[in-house]
């Protein structure tokens, strides 16, 4: 059973290769009567779009999302919503020299092992281009959550080893890195510039926060809300770790430190990250994801060609230095998809 569908009630199936004709998503299970237009999707697409600045890939894609079905007079009808984004600027020739080589850190070698055939052009299905479809679908989920007063936002808290030391959320919009600490953001930019000159790349950490009417969401025992979020976020290409609330720090705490005391006005702390026993407790949901450095680098690396002979590789072409900040709307999209799905699941059993 292939894995291109996400969600149980709000189900999204994405399709498409980096250098194919188009990428897209079909949403099945969106409730009827939700206002939706391409404008609602545009804002998130803009943030994911390549070519926005120094950190980002110069591939120029308008990323215009077309809604082919499921909408009538500005509202969803309950039937499947088909979203398509045609690829306009796929320069497959730029990848021609990589056709017979496995790029380290990429899926070239594993796709071939798994399927015995591989669309090498621009990474094919394994390309981050696929996330355009996730972001488009996530925007639909966000419409549903908006009606329930649920807000999801992601932001950079570490990049290239530089940490944001505060969470001044208004500052997220002040800098290109969506960092809630303008000063840290400036340092991150310096680090990016430095690493770019070296032909290398950087990783970082993104935090995602959801607020609003979340209490009760989550389906024990295998689809607990934290488990669902872990799957959702780990399914993003560059992500190598996911933690909820105190996360790995909780491993070093005493029970008396980690437990969130309960008071008539709410929890005293939020080490739980808003989730207890897999169910949202109503506090903010907080997740963090570890983003590995972009594997495509200009420095020379050892690898193999298709004949399994050792070769050297230097990757030029149009690449980002870091998956951050473009990964930020993708993280938000995956959390929106997860929450919308669990919201419908909860509705099904509530009185």
What is the footprint of its own copies within residues 317-346 (CB under 8 A)?
344-346
Per rule CB under 8 A, is residue 93 in the interface with its own copies? no
Q: In the bound complex, what is the minimum distance in angstroms from residue 75's beta carbon to its own copies? A: 6
Three-state DSSP state, 342:
helix
Per rule CB under 8 A, is residue 144 in the interface with its own copies? no
Q: Which residue has the tokens 């949202």?
A: 280
Q: In the bound complex, what is the minimum distance in angstroms from residue 132's beta carbon to its own copies? A: 12
Task: Calculate helix-pair angle for 131-147, 327-349, nearest 10 degrees.
Answer: 50
Q: In the bound complex, what is the minimum distance in angstroms from residue 271's beta carbon to its own copies? A: 8
Smaller CB distance to its own copies: residue 60 or 110?
110
Q: What is the sign of the dihedral through the CA atoms of 76, 77, 80 and 82?
A: negative
Q: In the bound complex, what is the minimum distance in angstroms from residue 3's beta carbon to its own copies? A: 3
Cis peptide preceding 325, ω within 30 of 0: yes
Smaller CB distance to its own copies: residue 5 or 60?
5
In sequence order, the β-bridge partners of residue 67 are 83
In sequence order, the β-bridge partners of residue 313 are 301
Scanning residues 260 to 279, which ones bind its own copies (CB under 8 A)? 260-264, 268, 271-273, 275-279
Binding mask 208-227 for its own copies (x = CB under 8 A): -------xxxxxxxxxx-xx
Per rule CB under 8 A, is residue 23 in the interface with its own copies? yes
Binder of its own copies out of 91, 211, 259, 270 (CB under 8 A): 259
Per rule CB under 8 A, is residue 31 in the interface with its own copies? yes
Three-state DSSP state, 331:
helix
Phi and psi torsions of 212, nearest 5°: 120, -155
CA 70 – CA 180 distance, rounded (Å): 37
From residue 89, give the alpha-carbon distance in Å to each of 51, 60, 75, 158, 296: 12, 6, 31, 31, 19
Binder of its own copies out of 100, 161, 169, 186 (CB under 8 A): 161
Which residue, among 267, 143, 273, has the nearest Cα to 208 in the 3D structure? Answer: 273
Binder of its own copies out of 47, 52, 75, 167 (CB under 8 A): 75
Per rule CB under 8 A, is residue 248 in the interface with its own copies? yes
From residue 83, give the alpha-carbon distance in Å to each of 86, 128, 132, 214: 10, 17, 10, 27
- Among the candidate windows 45-53, 69-77, 89-97, 168-176, which touches its own copies by CB under 8 A? 69-77
Q: Are 243 and 287 in contact (CB under 8 A)?
A: yes
Scanning residues 106 to 125, which ones bind its own copies (CB under 8 A)? 106-107, 109-111, 113-119, 124-125
Binding mask 39-58 for its own copies (x = CB under 8 A): --------------------
Extract the tokens encoding 25. Answer: 């998503």
Per rule CB under 8 A, is residue 77 in the interface with its own copies? yes
Q: In the bound complex, what is the minimum distance in angstroms from residue 107's beta carbon to its own copies? A: 2
Binder of its own copies out of 92, 153, 231, 270 (CB under 8 A): 231
Per rule CB under 8 A, is residue 130 in the interface with its own copies? yes
Which residue, among 243, 331, 232, 227, has the nearest Cα to 10 in the 3D structure? Answer: 232
In sequence order, the β-bridge partners of residue 28 are 11
Task: Calculate helix-pair angle for 327-349, 225-234, nearest 10 degrees.
Answer: 150
- Among the candidate windows 22-30, 56-64, 91-99, 173-181, which touches its own copies by CB under 8 A? 22-30
Scanning residues 187 to 206, which ones bind its own copies (CB under 8 A)? 195, 198, 200-205
Three-state DSSP state, 94:
helix
- What radius of gyration, in Å, describes the C-alpha atoms of the chain? 21
Smaller CB distance to its own copies: residue 16 or 50?
16
- Among the candidate windows 43-51, 54-62, 91-99, 291-299, which touches its own copies by CB under 8 A? 291-299
In sequence order, the β-bridge partners of residue 153 are 209
Smaller CB distance to its own copies: residue 226 or 332?
226
Smaller CB distance to its own copies: residue 170 or 310?
310
């Amino acid at each position: 059973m292939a894995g291109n569908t996400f969600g149980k009630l709000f189900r999204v199936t994405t399709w498409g290769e980096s250098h194919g004709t188009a990428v897209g998503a079909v949403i099945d299970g969106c409730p009827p009567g939700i206002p939706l237009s391409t404008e609602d999707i545009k804002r998130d697409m803009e943030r994911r779009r390549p070519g926005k600045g120094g950190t980002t890939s110069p591939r120029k894609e308008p990323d215009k999302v077309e809604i082919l079905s499921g909408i009538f007079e500005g509202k969803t009808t309950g039937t499947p919503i088909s979203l398509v984004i045609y690829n306009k600027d796929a320069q497959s020739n730029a990848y021609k020299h990589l056709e017979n080589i496995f790029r380290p850190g990429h899926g070239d070698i594993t796709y071939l092992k798994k399927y015995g055939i591989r669309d090498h052009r621009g990474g094919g299905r394994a390309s981050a281009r696929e996330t355009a479809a996730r972001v488009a679908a996530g925007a639909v989920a966000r419409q549903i959550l908006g009606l329930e007063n649920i807000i999801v936002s992601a932001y950079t808290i570490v990049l290239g080893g530089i940490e944001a030391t505060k969470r001044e959320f208004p500052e997220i919009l002040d800098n290109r890195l969506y960092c809630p600490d303008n000063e840290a953001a400036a340092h991150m930019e310096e680090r990016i510039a430095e690493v770019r000159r070296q032909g290398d790349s950087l990783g970082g950490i993104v935090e995602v926060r959801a607020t609003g009417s979340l209490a009760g969401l989550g389906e024990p025992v295998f689809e607990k809300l934290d488990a669902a979020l872990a799957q959702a976020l780990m399914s993003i290409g560059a992500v190598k770790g996911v933690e909820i609330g105190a996360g790995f720090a909780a491993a070093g705490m005493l029970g008396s430190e980690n437990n969130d005391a309960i008071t008539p006005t709410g929890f005293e702390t939020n080490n739980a990250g808003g989730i207890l026993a897999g169910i949202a407790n109503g506090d903010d949901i907080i997740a963090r994801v570890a983003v590995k450095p972009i594997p495509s680098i200009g420095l020379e690396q050892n690898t193999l060609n298709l004949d399994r002979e050792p070769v050297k590789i230097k990757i030029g072409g149009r690449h980002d230095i870091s998956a951050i900040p473009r990964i930020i709307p993708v993280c938000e999209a995956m959390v929106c998809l997860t929450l919308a799905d669990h919201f419908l699941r909860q509705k099904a059993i509530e009185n």
